[in-house]
Amino acid sequence: MSQQRILVVEDETNVRELEAEILRGEWEHVDTAVDGTDALRLLAEHVYSAIVSDLAMPKLDGRGLYEEVERRWPAVQGRLVFVTGYAEAEEYDEFLRHAGVPVLAKPFRMADLLGAVKRAFSPA
């Protein structure tokens, strides 16, 4: 088990628990947040090696989270991975092109999620 800490941000309970469970198979420290606001609270407390976030969420969505991270912890911005349904990807198309954050489409295979997180540790 490595010492890397990962944050999962997802409003859908089942998806959030699943992602955390998959990631806990590889890494010991996996935290979960129910939306962008909850994620900001945890980001203020810990340094994360990767942040896996949904795009469409109540309160603060993935775009809002990206902007806050850019403003407050610019070094962490390159560790973001968005996980999103195809439908939302259309809605956030322009933002995603501009942000250049890796996007994993739901539903994903386990290996895809693990691979995306590993790449986020050392962004190109």
Number of H helices, E strands in the chain: 6, 5
Q: Which residues from 104-123 bind another protein, rule CB under 8 A?
A: 106-110, 113
Decide: is 18 part of the binding site for another protein (CB under 8 A): yes
Report d(CA 58, CA 76) in Å as an integer: 22
Decide: is 20 part of the binding site for another protein (CB under 8 A): no
Q: Which of 21, 28, 70, 93 binds another protein (CB under 8 A)?
A: 21
Decide: is 15 part of the binding site for another protein (CB under 8 A): yes
Report d(CA 6, CA 83) in Å as an integer: 14
Minimum CB separation of residue 124 from another protein in Å reads 26
Q: Which residues from 41-100 bind another protein, rule CB under 8 A?
A: 56, 85-88, 90
117 contacts 50 by C-beta, under 8 angstroms: yes
To 5 degrees, how large is the angle CA 97–CA 100–CA 101? 120
Minimum CB separation of residue 111 from another protein in Å reads 8
